Amino acid sequence: MVEFPFYSLFVSSMITLFINGSPQIFATVPTVRQVLDERGMTGRRVAIECNGDIVPRSHYDSRALAEGDRLEIVVAVGGG
């Protein structure tokens, strides 16, 4: 039996998501809701796109993310 170092379990579960273009590392696969909570956006009015498709607010808890997913998280700002 091949022995894996203990930390390989941990390392293999790390995933990278690209949020608003910047790579962000998560220890475990998060839901969309967990991404918001971990990045200080709990309760903020946002809209989210994953790989070009809208993620409806009602799917934040259930939507499964995967390695390399590209999330866009937008808000309303001042503009003409």
Partner 1 sequence: MTFPVSPDPFILAGRTVRSRLLVGTGKYADLNQTREAVEASGAEIVTVAIRRTNIGQNPGEPNLLDVISPDRYTLLPNTAGCYTAEEAVRTLRLARELLDGHALVKLEVLGDADTLFPNMVETLEAAEILIREGFEVMVYCSDDPILARRLEDLGCVAIMPLASLIGSGMGILNPWNLGIILERAQIPVIVDAGVGTASDAAIAMELGCAGVLMNTAIAQARHPVQMAKAMALAVEAGRLSWRAGRMPKKPYRASASSPLSGLIQ
Residue 5 as a binder of partner 1 (CB under 8 A): the answer is: no
Rounded CA-CA distance 42/6 in Å is 33
Rounded CA-CA distance 34/4 in Å is 29
Q: Considering only 6-14, 25-33, 53-61, 62-70, which stretch makes contact with partner 1 by CB under 8 A?
A: 53-61
Q: What angle do CA 42, 36, 9 make, to 5 degrees?
A: 135
Residue 31 as a binder of partner 1 (CB under 8 A): the answer is: no
Residue 27 as a binder of partner 1 (CB under 8 A): the answer is: no
Q: Which residue in the set 21, 23, 25, 28 belongs to the binding site for partner 1 (CB under 8 A)?
A: 21
19 by Cβ neighbours in 10 Å (0-12 / 13-18 / 19+) ranks as: middle
Q: Shortest Cβ distance from residue 33 to partner 1 (Å)?
A: 15
Contact residues for partner 1, defined by CB under 8 A: 19-22, 24, 39-42, 44-49, 52, 54, 56-57, 72-80
